[in-house]
With several copies, the nearest count.
Chain A
Amino acid sequence: MKKTTLIKSGIAALAIAASGLFTTNPAFAQEAVAVVTETVVATTTAVVEEAEEVSAIDKHWEGKTGDLAMFTVNNLWICIAAALVFVMHLGFSCVETGLTRSKNTTNILFKNVFIVCMGLLAYAAYGFNSMYPGDNWTIPGWLAIGSPIANGFGGADEVANLTAEYNAGYTYWGDFIFQAMFAATAATIISGAVAERIKLGPFMIAATVIVAFAYPITGSWEWGGGWLSEDFIDFAGSSLVHAFGGYAALAAVIVLGPRLGKYLPNGKVKPILGHSMPLAAIGVFLLFFGWFGFNGGSVLSANAPLVSLVFVTTAMAAAAGGITASFASWIMLKKPDLSMALNGILAGLVGITAGADSISPWASVVVGGIAGVLVVVSVIALDKIKIDDPVGAISVHGICGNWGTIAVGIFGAGSFVTQLIGTVAISAFAFVFALVTFLVVKAIFGLRVSPEEEEGGLDIGEHGQEAYPDFVPNK
């Protein structure tokens, strides 16, 4: 009963998100087709016309083969970078799975699959245009109401969208796909922090709301030309993506509470070990790989000096973070802790993200190195105050996201105060929005699985599907 209601709500939320343009509920598939057909036919016609109109684009580039080549390589890089950012979602999935128990593996993977898919759709339906409103602000500099991507397509003049008239670095589509891949990241960060105890349906609803509505708001402040866009510097999103996700995760964890048995009555912390170090390591390496797209693509063109500099600063900060976290854990915890070394790499990456294009390579080593220490201290400190974050998401993305933003005010081109204001504003907004969202969702649907389900694992509880069922005699 309740489950069905839940699903219906989920569908409803999605349907709203899609502004009525499409629905994902298969039961309504036929209706959906009908509903969609009109729009589709319209846009299809547009596509066909575009094909015929190709000459307009050709005309645009006539006699400018050099410019066309530049535009082509720029746009190609944005697309490839989008694919690399996509890989980060696999990275997140692996890290989260590896650092939690095997009985919750199916659930974690399912959440990650959902988030990527939902994120792309929600961003198309709403986020993209509300994050980059142009002049269509609802509250100037602070809030814009988006309109579905279809607008940008069906109605637009192709030359204006598909050539350098749109942007020297990419077409409208290149722009969209790169930004869309970023969007889901915020929810993925939350997913790790709330793992092993959150109800699937409510999580899906809350994550959808945050990705669809909250992420574009702070995004518009800086990248969309809003109130932070003048002096605040957040190159690829230490604050806008990572701190955003980290503080939303913090709110979620506070509402949700720690995993059973993590904090003992005697005040001791009982660690709950992750079940697969290879998965965690694969995840971090893939995140490192994908980050070349995340930061490198944020140059928003293939500009040779900048892209190559960004690759260098990104790699150097990650390396420094990995090294300092290793030694920090070795010294502070007696033995070199692989999970900390891995978190250290991520910390370095998050740390350099705000200033990857404006911080010198050796300064990036300092930024990443400090992030690597910060993450170790932060992970330990959060456990002290009973904030239970199985994968270290709050420390990696929240704390190091703040640090990275501020670091631009120290080592980069930014002003310390502006950077501080910006990162605090973004983190605070993310925290409050997520807090309200999770509280509301909790009030309506409940947020936490039963203790029995938590003990037995969410794989059985939510999915009836073990992740490693090989010794399950079944009939």
Chain B
Amino acid sequence: MKKIEAIIKPFKLEEVKEALADLGIEGMTVSEVKGFGRQKGHTEIYRGSEYTVDFLPKIKIEVVVTDSVLESALSAIVKSAKTGKIGDGKVFVSPVDEAIRIRTDETGDKAI
């Protein structure tokens, strides 16, 4: 079991979700985050003083998948989230030891 965390551009959420759904991935969790990266923010002026908006709005998708679909999930995300422009975001994969479905107490791959 692996957890995929994808930081993407907000307007790409719909596409990424569809791409994952197409793979039969039925669950994911989404949150609003602010990202700092190569896509440098922008300098703005408020009431005469300059400031830099370093952190740009991004969406974080978290999805836990079985090892078997990891690869296809990753490529689906990367493909659907790509615009080719700076700030497209990143995907991180990390190990998950266990998953439990609260409703049924199921664990392991069945719980995903």
Contacts and interface: CB of A to CB of B under 8 A. Distances in A.
Whether chain A touches chain B in the assembled complex (some CB pair under 8 Å): yes
Interface of A: 261, 268-271, 273, 332-335, 337, 339-340, 376, 379-380, 383, 392, 455, 460, 464-465, 471-475
B60 interface: no
19 contacts: A269-B49, A271-B49, A273-B46, A332-B48, A333-B45, A337-B46, A337-B47, A379-B48, A380-B47, A380-B48, A380-B49, A383-B47, A464-B42, A464-B45, A465-B46, A472-B53, A472-B55, A473-B55, A474-B52
Which among B45, B52, B53 has the greatest number of chain A C-beta atoms within 10 A? B45
Contacts of A380: 47-49
Nearest to A333: B45
A335 B51 CA distance: 14
Which among B14, B46, B49, B53 has the greatest number of chain A C-beta atoms within 10 A? B46
A455 B14 CA distance: 13
Contacts of A271: 46-47, 49, 51
Contacts of B14: 473, 475
B54 to A, nearest CB: 7
Nearest to A273: B46
Contacts of B42: 460, 464
Contacts of A335: 44-45
Interface in B28-57: 30, 32, 34, 42, 44-49, 51-55
Chain A interface mostly: loop
B47 A339 contact: yes
Contacts of B11: 261, 455
Contacts, number: 63
Nearest to B56: A456
A475 B49 contact: no
A392 B14 CA distance: 26
Given A261-B11, A332-B48, 14 more contacts: A270-B49, A339-B46, A379-B47, A379-B48, A380-B47, A380-B48, A383-B48, A464-B42, A472-B55, A473-B13, A473-B14, A474-B53, A474-B54, A475-B52
Contacts of A261: 11
A383 B44 CA distance: 16
Given A455-B11, A460-B42, A464-B42, A471 B47 contact: no
A463 to B, nearest CB: 9
| Interface size class of chain B, counting residues whose CB lies under 8 Å from the partner chain | 20 to 34
Nearest to B55: A473
Contacts of A337: 45-47
A305 B13 CA distance: 60
A473 B11 CA distance: 9
A383 B49 contact: yes
A473 B34 contact: yes
- Nearest 4 A/B pairs, CB to CB: A380-B48, A464-B44, A271-B46, A269-B49
A5 B53 CA distance: 27
Contacts of A464: 42, 44-45
A472 B32 CA distance: 11
Contacts of A273: 46
A333 B45 CA distance: 7
A472 B51 CA distance: 11
Contact of B30 (A332, A383, A473): A473
Which among A333, A340, A392, A475 has the greatest number of chain B C-beta atoms within 10 A? A475
Contacts of A333: 45, 48
A332 B49 CA distance: 11
Interface string B74-102: 00000000000000000000000000000
Contacts of A379: 47-48
A380 B50 CA distance: 11
Contacts of B10: 455
Nearest to A274: B46
A253 to B, nearest CB: 15
Contacts of B46: 271, 273, 337, 339, 465
Contacts of A473: 13-14, 17, 30, 34, 54-55
A131 B55 CA distance: 51
B54 A340 contact: no
B47 to A, nearest CB: 6
Contacts of A270: 49, 51
B45 A334 contact: yes
Contacts of B9: 455
Contacts of B30: 473
Given A471-B32, A473-B13, A473-B17, A340 B53 contact: no
